[in-house]
Structures are given as structure tokens and as C-alpha cells.
Chains A and B, each alone.
Chain A
């Protein structure tokens, strides 16, 4: 349904022109996304996980067309995204759910108007009475009461607001939803409600999801396939269950090792050293090599390609 090919997005983070010239500095580029390839079949969920700064949110924005790619392309049903987004009929088929339900809802609008906006914008239901009916149905679908339509966002808790965001995203009858950390601002018991709701909606409506999260446990519950990102690249891409049963890339393994788990009470362990380097001046070769226990000279010199679902010289050479 949706595919990314060698997708890249670079940002110019140089200082202003005059200052740069006076200091004799070159331009500086932040490679937020640097050659990412994946596809998402209809009705399935692909998740991208990684630590902050790995480029996962930038991919989300590229995929819905909020950013234009520096190079590479996004294909929506085989057509280039910018061409596809030229027509409103195509645009309504993809929607996005954001992380912070406090920032993504207009505080001066009533819930009814928030949810109805896409319906009006795309002219889906011209008759106001039918529009009301449709909004009420959407609110029921996400577990709210149709009476909530008359309230303002501040009258709702974080979880209920996220339900409103989901109702708004669903109001244009989309087929493809991009969810950027939809539950990370929520408490855990509420997170469970929202994750259950999203799975239910996927079953009922046949939705396709691109799910962005830093939380591996959440990702395991919702994904069919998972891409692990590190410094703008996918380092491992695998079926969800096989990734958890047999993580291959050293970074994936380190990430799983680092997560505190309920079963580990009192256990001590050796955390991965170091931190994610700056994407402005990433390390040479494989960008994970300074933190990798398996790194050798080849890793320091040559960037590994994603072959058979993993981008790692050590794994490909059988050293992993």
C-alpha cells in the first residue's frame, strides 16, 4: 500500500550566512533520515522504533507529506506521494495521529467541530444533520459519548483527548494512518485502552498503520513487522515475533537488554555504554561502531547495507 525507497531527509542547520562567512565555517547538514527503504502491505502495521534523534518521527512526517524528501521517494499505491497528494480524494485516505493530545486539539473548538473538520474540508457529508450523525457515530466508535461533541478539549483527560484525535483522524474514512508515539504521553492504564482501541479499529476497518514508538513492549503488541532505526537508518527490519525471539543486530540486542522489565526485580546487568552520536557528524562506516562490541576495521570504514533484514557486517559475516 505504501512504500519508501531510499528515503532521505537532510536539514540545513548551519549558522546564519554572515556569521558563517565571518567564522569561515562550512555549511552543516543534519541527516535526519538517510536512506530508508520499507513497504507496508494493506491492513498490516509496520512499527519504527529507536531512541530519540534516530529519525523515526521524520520518517512519519515524510510519509504523510508534511516534509518533502531530500532524495528518494514515497510511493502510495505505486504512485509518487507528491503526485498522489495533489488530489483531495487521495489526501483523505491518509491521516496522522500525534503524540501530544494537549497540543494537537484546538482548545477553542468544540469536539464536534474538531471531529467534523476533515468531513467538511473534504466535503464528505454535505448535510449538517447527517454530519452530526456521522460525528456521533465516530465518537461512539472511539468509546466516547455522542454528547461529548458539545464539550471543549480541556474538559477531557489525556486518554479521552487521544480518543478525540483518533475520531478526527477516522472522520475522513482513511485507509492509512500514521501514528507518531500515540500513547507515550499517556498513563499506562490509559495506554492499554488506546492500544486496544487501535487494534480493534484495525480489525473492523482494515486500516494500515505506520506506528512510531520508542517503547519496544508497546510495539510488540501492535506490529506485524518492525524496523529498528539508528541515526537515520534502519538497522534491522523483521517480522515482529522473530525480532523479539531472535534479535540479530547488536543494537537491537542492546536495546532489548536495556529495557527494565517487571520480571527483573533486583537483577543487575551491564548496560550499553555511550550515547547516540550527533546526526550532524555521525561516525564513519557503520554509525553504531563506537558502541558496538563486535566492531572491527571494516565496520569503522564501510557502512553496511540492509541485507536480508539486517544492516551489520558482523552478522552478515557470521561473526554475530
Chain B
């Protein structure tokens, strides 16, 4: 396994007490694998990505568990050491390309600087490679565009520059947080195709965080569904999409408006995800769950085998099986 996250816990101390934003999150990603992380806003999916790249917004802090990259712990490294890993071994792509790029530098300079920070390259070599990366991500006339400033690119092109920037030091893992959310569908399709090609050809592992199930269904190999700071189901994408084992996942899939037909009434999950300061005891989904029973309200289920996936749901706790 390239990345292993075990029992990760992230806390935010506030004036009114400590909020637990992530609670017992465990998963792993293999080289060349795309792991999709989905969930509604506030479920903790971006927080998980931020914890891995070591960029949690203060006062947020990792309060428990561990994160390992190729077996080496990276969650407790000092800032400078983590900075060397970030960029070199873990690349990050964020939602908004404008905040990632420095508006005062040409994209070429940003690429060259990033590469030279991590790889022993001469100026000419670095520039040559930068052009190569821009071509890789599908920017036409890369040799001329390399001297342009970010504002001279359109939104879709800028996001490609951001991707090139994340790739140029050839990281083993890319954490992509909503990389296509700010883009139009036709551009989104191009970016998705690019990410998939990278995973396939360069064996880059990708953690793809998004709220768009369509993007996940098309891109990911496995998918983790998050709810109220926990992974409530994880498994192969086809199984999770078509044969969801957790009632929340099933409800989430059913509430997506279908493109191929018109339905009179969409399935909806009543209510809303609990706030961090009011997470119910037991299963956090129990107040909204159509299949809730007594045990759900008192005991918190851990991930357990359920069909072809793992789901944190007492419905799958067979008598006699180890809990």
C-alpha cells in the first residue's frame, strides 16, 4: 500500500469545547489506484485530504491515529520535513485554480521553481520539462503559453496548469479536492480523462474528493462514503453505486436526479447531516435512517463486511460473527 490512514482523528478546539471533525477514519490507497471520497458538505472529506497533505487549518489538529506513506509515518513530521514531502511525494489539486497559482509569476516560472525545489535540474532542463508537462495536460501551444500569466488562461486551462504543477515533481500520490467542481461539464470531462490516464500510465495514486457521484462513478476504482466525520461505507465503485449496503449510501444514490429518465418524485433523505457539536450517540445516521432499530441509537457501528463492500451499519452484524 502506498498510503495508509489508520483511525485518524481530527479535532477543533473551540471556546465551547472540542469538536471532533474526523473520527476513526481508516483507508488505504495502492499505486495507480483512484480512491473516490464522497459525502455531503461538512462530512469531513476535504478535512481528510488536508490532514494527509499536512495542511489542516489551525486550530484543527490531528488528535489520534496515524498516516503512513510507504510505511513511513507522515502525520507527526515537523513542518519543514513535511514541506519536502508535499510537492515531491504528495501533490495537491484544489478546487479553485486562482488561489493556487501566484498571479504575479508566469506559469512557466511557477513550474520551474516547483521542479527545482524537488529535483536536481538546470534552468534549461526544467523549462523543457515544464513545456512537456503543459503539453501532457493538454494546453495547446505550450512552448508559447509557458510565458503567460495565470490571468491570461481561461478557467479550464488554469486548472490544467494547477494539475501540471501538482504533477511536475512526479509525486506518488495526488490529493485532488473537488478538482472539477468550478469547471463546466465539457472541461470537467477533459480533466477527468487526464486524471485517469495518469493513474493508468504513471501509476500515480489519486485520492479524489468530490460531492459529484457521477465523477466518482466514472473515475474511481474504489469509493469511500463519508458521513459526519466517519467513513460509513467503502468498497469497489460499481458495488457501492449499484448495490450500496449502507442505508445512507443507498439514499444518496437514489436522490441523484437520473439523466436517462424523468421520475415524478425523487427519493429524498429527510433532515440534514448533524452538526459537529450535535452528533447523536450510536450511529450518526440513525435519526434519518429508514431502517433504524434500537441498537443503532445506543452503539456506534464500525466498518464491517457487507456484501462486496464494508459498511458501518448494524444491519450487517450477523449473529455469531465477530463484531
Please measure, in the bound complex, the distance between the C-alpha atom of A101 and the C-alpha atom of B156, giving whole angstroms.
27
Partner of A51, one of B184, B193, B260: B184
Q: Tell yes or no: B154 within 8 A of A by CB.
A: yes
Closest Cβ neighbor of A52 among chain B residues: B184
Please measure, in the bound complex, the distance between the C-alpha atom of A192 and the C-alpha atom of B269, giving whole angstroms.
8
Determine the chain B residues whose CB is within 8 A of the CB of A241 once the complex forms.
262
Please measure, in the bound complex, the distance between the C-alpha atom of A187 and the C-alpha atom of B258, giving whole angstroms.
15
Q: Tell yes or no: B188 within 8 A of A by CB.
A: yes
Q: Are B262 and A263 in contact (CB under 8 A)?
A: no
Determine the chain A residues whose CB is within 8 A of the CB of B154 once the complex forms.
275
Partner of B211, one of A158, A187, A262, A273: A187
In the complex, per-residue mask of B118-162: 1 if CB is within 8 Å of any chain A CB, else 0: 000000000000000000000000000000000000111100000
Known: A190-B272, A196-B268, A255-B185. A266 touches B218 (CB 8 A): yes
Q: Are A259 and B259 in contact (CB under 8 A)?
A: yes
Q: Count A-side interface residues using an 8 Å CB cutoff.
A: 47
Partner of B262, one of A158, A192, A193, A221: A221
Closest Cβ neighbor of A157 among chain B residues: B272
In the complex, per-residue mask of B228-243: 1 if CB is within 8 Å of any chain A CB, else 0: 0000000001100100
Q: Tell me the interface secondary structure of chain A in the complex.
A: helix
What 19 new A-B contacts, CB under 8 Å, besides A160-B272, A189-B268, A220-B257?
A51-B186, A188-B252, A189-B255, A192-B268, A193-B268, A193-B270, A215-B257, A218-B257, A221-B263, A256-B259, A258-B185, A260-B214, A260-B218, A261-B217, A262-B217, A263-B217, A272-B189, A275-B186, A276-B184
Can you name 5 A-B pairs with beta carbons within 8 Å?
Answer: A193-B270, A215-B257, A264-B218, A272-B189, A275-B157
Q: Are A188 and B186 in contact (CB under 8 A)?
A: no
B residues near A (Cβ < 8 Å) are 40-41, 154-157, 184-190, 192-193, 196, 211-215, 217-219, 237-238, 241, 251-253, 255-270, 272
Q: Tell yes or no: A195 within 8 A of B by CB.
A: yes
Q: Are B262 and A240 in contact (CB under 8 A)?
A: yes
Determine the chain A residues whose CB is within 8 A of the CB of B192 once the complex forms.
260
Determine the chain B residues whose CB is within 8 A of the CB of A268 once the complex forms.
193, 196
Q: Are A261 and B218 in contact (CB under 8 A)?
A: yes
Partner of B214, one of A159, A240, A259, A272: A259
Closest Cβ neighbor of B288 among chain A residues: A189
Which 5 pairs show the lowest CB-CB distances between chains A and B? A260-B214, A271-B189, A187-B40, A51-B184, A192-B255
Determine the chain B residues whose CB is within 8 A of the CB of A272 once the complex forms.
186, 189
B224 → chain A, closest Cβ, in Å?
Answer: 16
Please measure, in the bound complex, the distance between the C-alpha atom of A256 and the C-alpha atom of B189, giving whole angstroms.
11
B233 → chain A, closest Cβ, in Å?
Answer: 15
Q: Are B260 and A189 in contact (CB under 8 A)?
A: no
Known: A188-B255, A265-B237. A220 touches B211 (CB 8 A): no
Closest Cβ neighbor of A190 among chain B residues: B272
Q: Are B185 and A259 in contact (CB under 8 A)?
A: yes
A228 → chain B, closest Cβ, in Å?
Answer: 12
B96 → chain A, closest Cβ, in Å?
Answer: 14
Q: Tell yes or no: A199 within 8 A of B by CB.
A: yes
Determine the chain A residues whose CB is within 8 A of the CB of B267 once the complex forms.
192
B227 → chain A, closest Cβ, in Å?
Answer: 11
Q: Are B268 and A262 in contact (CB under 8 A)?
A: no
Determine the chain A residues whose CB is within 8 A of the CB of B252 once the complex forms.
188-189
Please measure, in the bound complex, the distance between the C-alpha atom of A192 and the C-alpha atom of B41, giving whole angstroms.
15
Q: Are A271 and B41 in contact (CB under 8 A)?
A: no
Q: Tell yes or no: A125 within 8 A of B by CB.
A: no
